[in-house]
């Protein structure tokens, strides 16, 4: 019988750093999901999932990506879909968040080591208030998902039997809030195309995607706004950059696709606006689509690649390099062009270590994407834009696809799985887990000079 002070991580016997525990825990969740999806009860009769396909599906679900080698709605049974749903929820909220939930339910003590792991998982600078934040995360997630499920169920009850509408409502609310992109409508790219001009579906799904993508810290700030009457710098940056990217994306997609007969061309003006707005929100790592992604012009596809690369915000259910990282990089460029040493946002000066971290994340992401896409261009032999699109979709945990994923070779599936895994855990977390950080050097090196530019 475990004592009340036993750790919730399950790795008491190993002397591991928090990043290493996160990596092992996440890998264990994916492996369990893979084994469950390989069971005969998970697939329709006569179509069992092979190991590689089950591993790919479990990784995509746990990494809240949405890329699929088999159709979730027609290939998997209710049990298999339930496994996907649980993996999405664990992957979206985080393994440690779910472990903390059980610890709180069973009134187990959350140790200092567990708090350190939670701090790493939630990307927080300190442990202060971390358990309180986890409680808020669980509460907000439950409320938002329940509200989304109810609204979607009511809408779909018009088109399908009530029981099916409720099931669809719950599944898609969890999937969209966690920015997973899995759907039950059949086909690898059908998604929500039939609801391209439907205001209810568009508004509810976009609300779920944005809520999951802005991060729980921002949601907490907004919930406390009436009491505090102020937002943190983090929330101001996230909200302003999110709004800017969505509006910019909507305008660009509207202009580029206005006359495209395969996308916006046949739609009326209202549907054109809804589709442009939705397709600007979706690359924020959601993976849903109301337009045929393969029918987009190449300029639009490349623009979506940029949106996917930026991704969602820290402490959220989404991926990418994050809006705050992108903001810091833009701020650094502007400060350099103006001849200033400091980066100032909303009258706050940012420490140089933040800039170094943003630069590190961006360069590591670019290195990973370039390496994987070059390898895929060798193994898959397809146009590079298609390969780049799929690679960034996997890294940013988006799930949008140009149709490459179902046709991937075995090597290609492994590469995409590793890319999804790295994108979800975070490149810095993986770097810390694989190579322990070194302390400060004992010797102070002399300052060197180098010409830049």
Q: What is the 3-state secondary structure (H, E, C) of 345-370?
A: ECCEEECHHHHHHHHHHHHHHHHHHH
CA 85 to each of CA 62, 166, 172, 282, 289: distance values in angstroms, whole numbers, following the listed order: 9, 14, 9, 19, 19
Choice among 2-16, 105-119, 142-156, 256-270 with the minimum mean pLDDT: 2-16
Write out pLDDT tens, residues 70-88. Answer: 999 889 999 999 999 999 9
Mean pLDDT of 43-65: 93
Which is more confidently placed, 246 or 92? Answer: 246
Backbone angles phi, psi at 258, to 5 degrees: -55, -40
Write out pLDDT tens, residues 246-264. Answer: 999 999 999 999 999 999 9
Count of C-beta atoms within a 10 Å radius of residue 183:
24
Q: So what's the pLDDT on residue 293? A: 93
- Decide if pLDDT at 155 tops 60: yes
Write out pLDDT tens, residues 353-374. Answer: 888 889 999 999 999 999 999 9
Sign of CA dihedral 140, 109, 122, 31: negative
Q: So what's the pLDDT on residue 94? A: 73
- Decide if pLDDT at 4 tops 50: no
Q: So what's the pLDDT on residue 238? A: 93
- Decide if pLDDT at 2 tops 50: no
Q: Which helix (H) or strand (E) holds 392?
A: helix 384-395
Q: So what's the pLDDT on residue 228? A: 86
Q: What would the two tokens of residue 266 be? A: 């046949």
Return the DSSP state at 43: B
Dist CA 183 CA 399 (whole Å): 11
Q: So what's the pLDDT on residue 133? A: 73
Tell me the pLDDT band of 13, cut-offs 50, 70 and 90: very low
- Decide if pLDDT at 450 tops 80: no
Q: What's this model's pTM, rounded to 2 decimal places?
A: 0.89
Dist CA 139 CA 135 (whole Å): 6
Count of C-beta atoms within a 10 Å radius of residue 253:
27
- Decide if pLDDT at 6 tops 50: no
């Amino acid at each position: 019988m475990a004592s009340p002070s036993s750790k919730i991580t399950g790795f008491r016997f190993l002397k591991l750093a928090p990043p290493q525990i996160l990596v092992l825990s996440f890998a264990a969740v994916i492996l369990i999901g893979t084994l469950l999806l390989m069971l005969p009860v998970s697939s329709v009769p006569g179509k069992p999932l092979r190991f590689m396909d089950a591993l790919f599906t479990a990784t995509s679900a746990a990494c809240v990506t949405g890329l699929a080698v088999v159709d979730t709605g027609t290939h998997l049974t209710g049990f298999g879909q339930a496994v996907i749903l649980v993996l999405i929820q664990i992957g979206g909220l985080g393994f440690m968040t779910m472990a903390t939930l059980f610890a709180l339910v069973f009134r187990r003590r959350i140790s200092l080591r567990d708090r350190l792991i939670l701090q790493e998982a939630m990307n927080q600078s300190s442990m202060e208030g971390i358990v309180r934040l986890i409680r808020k995360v669980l509460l907000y997630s439950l409320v938002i998902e329940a509200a989304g499920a109810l609204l979607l169920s009511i809408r779909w009850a018009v088109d399908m039997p009530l029981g099916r509408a409720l099931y669809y409502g719950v599944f898609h609310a969890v999937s969209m809030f966690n920015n997973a992109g899995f759907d039950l409508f059949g086909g690898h790219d059908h998604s929500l195309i039939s609801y391209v001009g439907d205001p209810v579906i568009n508004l509810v799904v976009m609300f779920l995607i944005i809520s999951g993508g802005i991060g729980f810290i921002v949601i907490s700030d907004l919930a406390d706004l009436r009491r505090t009457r102020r937002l943190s710098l983090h929330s101001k940056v996230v909200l302003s950059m999110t709004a800017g990217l969505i509006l910019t994306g909507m305008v660009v997609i509207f202009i580029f696709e206005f006359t495209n007969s395969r996308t916006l061309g046949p739609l009326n003006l209202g549907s054109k606006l809804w589709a442009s707005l939705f397709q600007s929100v979706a690359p924020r790592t959601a993976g849903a689509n109301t337009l045929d992604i393969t029918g987009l012009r190449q300029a639009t596809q490349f623009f979506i690649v940029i949106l996917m690369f930026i991704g969602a915000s820290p402490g959220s259910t989404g991926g990418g390099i994050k809006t705050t990282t992108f903001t810091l990089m833009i701020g650094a460029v502007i400060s350099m062009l103006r001849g200033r040493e400091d980066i100032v946002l909303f009258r706050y000066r940012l420490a140089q270590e933040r800039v170094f971290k943003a630069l590190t994340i961006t360069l590591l992401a670019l290195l990973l994407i370039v390496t994987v896409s070059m390898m895929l261009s060798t193994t898959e032999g397809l146009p590079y834009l298609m390969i780049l699109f799929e690679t960034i979709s996997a890294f940013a945990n988006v799930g949008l696809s140009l149709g490459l994923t179902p046709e991937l070779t075995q090597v290609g599936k492994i590469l995409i799985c590793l890319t999804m895994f790295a994108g979800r855990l975070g490149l810095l977390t993986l770097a810390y887990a694989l190579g322990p950080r070194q302390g400060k050097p004992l010797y102070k090196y002399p300052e060197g000079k180098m010409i830049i530019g």
